[in-house]
Amino acid sequence: MTAFRAFIIAPLTAPMLYWSMQFVSALADANRRHVALQSSMTSLAFVLAFGAPIAYAATLVIGVPAYYFGNGKHPRLVTTLLSGALTGVGTALLLHRFLTGDLFSIPLTPAHGAALGAATGAVFWYCVDEPTSN
C-alpha cells in the first residue's frame, strides 16, 4: 500500500479506538449500559464527526512532514510509534481546555492521546509495510 493510502486510513484509527474504549467503558458500567447499547451508532457518528478532522489535522501538521523528513523511506516501527505517541500527547494537551466544560466533558488525557497516537502510528506502519514480492 502506498504512503498516500496509509495517510488516508491511519488517522481513522484514533477516533475509532477512542469510541471503542468509551463504548466498552459504558458497557462495563451498569448505569450507562442501556444507553450505550441504544445509541452506539449515534455516538460513533459523533466521535467520527469531531475526532476525524482533529486526527487528520494532526496528521497533516506532524505526520506528513515527519514522513517526508525521512525522505519518504520505509519508516521503522519504533520511530512511527514514538512519533504517533508524541503527536497524540501534544494534541491532547493542546485540546484539553477545549474538551472540558460545564455542559459536557470529553475525557482525553495525555495518556489517552499517547495510546491513540501510537495506535495510529502502528496502523500507518502496517499500511506502508509492503512485503516485497519476487
Share of the chain above pLDDT 90, in %: 37
Reported as a single tens digit per residue, the pLDDT across 75-115 is 788 888 999 999 999 999 998 888 777 777 778 889 999 99
Task: Indicate the burial class of 75 (C-beta count within 10 angstroms; 0-12, 13-18, 19 or more).
Answer: buried
Task: Assess contact for 64 and 124: CB atoms under 8 A.
Answer: no
Q: How confident is the model at residue 72 (pLDDT cuts 50, 70, 90)?
A: low
Q: What is the pTM of this model?
A: 0.83
